[in-house]
Structure formats: structure tokens, C-alpha cells
């Protein structure tokens, strides 16, 4: 009998889904942006965080590194608390200390009204997509939370 299939995602699979190279994923883990287990496997939460980091173009040497860390922690906390729905976005200001989760188009408009340079990260859409493509990676999060 073979080894049972892991519920966690390999770095290669996360890289394929997020367009981040394995070396980049390793650096993001080393720099504290992402978490993985001792076997170098990622949960669904970390898959969403990796996608956000790819969208933000994160590098620890960039001036925006602290902002990107806060964005990932905001996403991670919201996912763990079950506050992300299919329509949830994270609005991140490029040149200001501002970020917020929005759940409707009206909230997004209110959040971006005063901003000149910002990004909208579709974390809810990513969650919906990845739960369909890699459901086993999200089952792990429920098991960890229940423990």
C-alpha cells in the first residue's frame, strides 16, 4: 500500500496556482510572509495568502513589506474567523496606511472613494475558486481549528 495522499498542497502546486516560483515561495516563508509544515506543504489559507502576495508583488526588501505583512495577516485572520464570502475583497492603499475588507460593491466604493492609488484583492473569489479546485486543502483548516 502506498502512502495516503496529503491534504496539504505542495510548493509546486501552490506555485502553479499562484504563478509564484518555488524559490520565491521559499523566500516568502523564510521572510515570514507564508507558513508551511515541516514537509514543505501549504494549507488552503496559505494558498490564498500566497495569491495575495503575488498580486502585491511582495519582496521583503521593498518599502511596502510591512503593508504586505499586514495584508496577509488580515486575510489569514478573516479566513480563520470565517469572515470571507464569495464577494469579499481586501482594499489596500498603495501610498497610505489603509486597508479594509469589503463585502459588497457599496462598501468597496465607500472604501476607495478617498483613495487615489489602491489595489483590490479578490480574496473571496480566490477562496471560491480554490475551494472548488483544491477542497482537501481547506478541509485541513477545519481540522486544525477544531483541535
Question: Residue 115: is it exposed, middle or buried by C-beta count within 10 angstroms (0-12/13-18/19+)?
Answer: middle
pTM value is 0.86
> What is the C-alpha to C-alpha distance for residues 128 and 108, in angstroms, rounded to an integer?
19
Under DSSP, the state recorded for 57 is T
Tell which wins on pLDDT, 73 or 143: 73
> What is the C-alpha to C-alpha distance for residues 139 and 143, in angstroms, rounded to an integer?
6
Mean pLDDT of 112-125: 94
Domain boundaries, given as residue ranges, for the chain = 9-146
In this model, does residue 147 exceed pLDDT 50?
no
Amino acid at each position: 500500500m502506498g502512502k495516503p495522499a496529503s491534504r496539504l498542497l505542495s510548493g509546486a502546486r501552490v506555485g502553479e496556482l499562484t504563478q509564484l516560483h518555488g524559490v520565491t515561495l521559499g523566500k516568502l516563508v523564510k521572510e515570514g510572509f507564508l507558513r508551511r509544515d515541516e514537509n514543505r506543504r501549504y494549507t488552503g489559507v496559505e494558498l490564498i495568502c500566497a495569491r495575495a502576495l503575488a498580486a502585491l508583488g511582495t519582496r521583503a526588501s521593498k518599502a511596502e513589506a510591512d503593508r504586505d505583512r499586514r495584508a496577509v495577516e488580515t486575510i489569514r485572520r478573516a479566513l480563520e474567523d470565517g469572515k470571507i464570502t464569495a464577494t469579499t475583497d481586501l482594499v489596500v492603499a498603495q501610498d497610505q496606511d489603509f486597508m479594509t475588507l469589503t463585502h459588497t460593491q457599496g462598501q468597496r466604493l465607500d472604501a476607495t472613494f478617498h483613495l487615489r492609488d489602491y489595489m483590490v484583492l479578490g480574496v473571496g473569489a480566490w477562496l471560491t475558486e480554490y475551494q472548488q479546485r483544491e477542497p482537501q486543502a481547506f478541509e485541513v483548516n477545519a481540522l486544525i481549528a477544531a483541535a
